[in-house]
Copies of this chain bind each other. A is one copy, B any other.
Amino acid sequence: MSYDVLAQGEREETMHLPTNPKAVLIDLAGVLHTGDDALPGAVAALEKLRASGLALRFLTNTTRTPGSVLHTKLCGMGFTLAAAEIQTAALAARTLVRERGLRPHWMVHPNIAEEMGASDPDPDVVVLGDMGEHFTYAGLNHAFRLLMQRVPLIAMARNRYFMEADGMSMDMGAFVAGLEYSTGVTAEITGKPAPAFFAAALAELGVAPDATVLIGDDLTDDVGGAQDAGIAGILVRTGKFRPGDDENPDIRPALVVDDFAVAVDALLG
């Protein structure tokens, strides 16, 4: 199938998996693990995928934890992966801020504050990450006032929710939507579903979208984002998956399977 004939915003009825895939983009939370626990069969499935020789990248919108800690955590669960294979929305934001020479006001979780660097006392951009329990009215109101003075907003993600060990939790998208509503600005997103985030992974791997597959548990930000970038998406029924996600009229995954292990088997055919 051909992707380049699609106008922006247009989607084919259903995308198809490439017959000869060269790379796989893998979401982390809800696909390989929930909280501190590997999902059943995920460790062995990743081994199998590696043995196949396909190029791999791990794409995460989690911005409460630095990539290095995430890497250590995943290794501790038994997964085999290199820190450099993990592409985070937080590092994408840092790269974007540096490339544009911006003076950021960082609103991020204390865990990644050092990785992002110091905030500028005279900021020309607000950069929002998932602060979790550290979101405060005072902090949000400070951002609100900057945005009302026409300082633009970059957000690492706009995910609606994610699966934690004790249940579904509200994700940072709620705060992005709230600031957008009150100020009238529209945030620029650095993580999924931003096309640039997927493009960066493809460029590093040197593969074309139509030779790549994404595996994720988020219909909108994983599968929808990937398919908008011309990458076929496999939706897994783990993590934040909810009944009905596989019947959405607007986003039709190339494949919907029970979990990561089944996705890998389907890919390796």
Interface set of A (CB-CB < 8 Å, partner B):
131-138, 140-141, 144-145, 148, 160-161, 167-171, 173-175, 177-184
Complex interface: chain B residues within 8 A of A137 (CB):
131-135, 170
Looking at the complex, which one of B160, B167, B171, B182 makes contact with A173 (CB distance below 8 Å)?
Answer: B182
Contact sample, A vs B, 6 pairs, CB 8 Å cutoff: A134-B137, A144-B170, A160-B182, A170-B179, A173-B182, A177-B182
Complex interface: chain B residues within 8 A of A175 (CB):
178
Contact between chains at B182 and A174 (CB < 8 Å): yes
Looking at the complex, which one of B131, B145, B168, B174 makes contact with A167 (CB distance below 8 Å)?
Answer: B145
Complex interface: chain B residues within 8 A of A138 (CB):
133
By beta carbon, the residue of chain B nearest A138 is B133
What's the dominant secondary structure at chain A's contact region? helix
Q: How far is the CA of A150 from the CA of B37 in the complex (A)?
A: 28
Contact between chains at B140 and A170 (CB < 8 Å): yes
Instruction: Known A133-B137, A137-B133, A137-B135; judge A174-B178 contact (CB<8 A).
Output: yes
By beta carbon, the residue of chain B nearest A167 is B145
By beta carbon, the residue of chain B nearest A179 is B174
Q: How far is the CA of A160 from the CA of B180 in the complex (A)?
A: 10
Contact between chains at A141 and B160 (CB < 8 Å): no
Contact between chains at A144 and B169 (CB < 8 Å): yes
Contact between chains at A174 and B140 (CB < 8 Å): yes
Looking at the complex, which one of B144, B168, B178 makes contact with A178 (CB distance below 8 Å)?
Answer: B178
